[in-house]
Amino acid sequence: MFCLKKRVVLGLTNKKLLILEQIKTKNNVMGYFKLFQSEKSGDYYFNLKAGNHETILSSQGYSSKAGAENGIESVKKNGADDDNYERKEAKNGDVYFTLKAGNGQVIGKSEMYKSKAGMENGIASVKKNAPDAEIKE
């Protein structure tokens, strides 16, 4: 956001600032957490989605909504540290990663990637999107 001094220099009104903010938001779409409850099991889950709505990270099931919300906070807290990511390879050769909390518990798992470069891009996307991501239900 522009400080008051810059507003005066640029001659920006509140309406113009709002338009600038909307343009900025449109061009820099942020990621978000999609929180939902399974109709089948009743468990709560979340997915971290990039600005293009692609799923980056999926959670385990939680018995309560509060548990899932705590899981989201753990992703936000632990997602920035590369040491919390475990890079893995499936039997078919695809690669994926898990994100672990400080206690070693897995918080989320990625999709399968055909290449290590794709997996590293996924990790970078979690690091970029998770800290400021909103929760959508």
Q: Per residue in 72-89, pLDDT tens?
A: 999 999 999 999 999 999
Are residues 6 and 57 part of one domain?
no
Question: Region 78-107: what's the mean pLDDT?
Answer: 96
Query: How many other C-beta atoms lie within 10 A of the C-beta of residue 78?
Result: 20
Q: Is the pLDDT of residue 41 over 80?
A: yes
Are residues 126 and 60 part of one domain?
yes
Are residues 50 and 25 part of one domain?
no
**Kind of pairing between the strands at 32-37 and 85-89:** unpaired
Tell me the DSSP string of 21-80.
Answer: HHHHHHHSPPPEEEEEE-TTT--EEEEEE-TTS-EEEEE--BSSHHHHHHHHHHHHHHTT
Domain count, the chain: 2
Are residues 21 and 74 part of one domain?
no
CB 55 within 8 A of CB 110: no
Supply 46's token pair: 């979340």
Are residues 56 and 87 part of one domain?
yes
Question: Region 40-61: what's the mean pLDDT?
Answer: 95
Amino acid at 51: G
Are residues 3 and 68 part of one domain?
no
Question: Region 92-110: what's the mean pLDDT?
Answer: 96
Are residues 107 and 91 part of one domain?
yes
Are residues 100 and 38 part of one domain?
yes
Query: How many other C-beta atoms lie within 10 A of the C-beta of residue 119?
Result: 22
Amino acid at 72: I
CB 80 within 8 A of CB 127: yes
CB 54 within 8 A of CB 42: no
Are residues 71 and 48 part of one domain?
yes
Are residues 84 and 20 part of one domain?
no
Are residues 108 and 51 part of one domain?
yes
* Closest of 15, 77, 64 to residue 35, by C-alpha: 64
Are residues 132 and 82 part of one domain?
yes
Full residue range of the structural domain in which residue 5 is found: 1-29
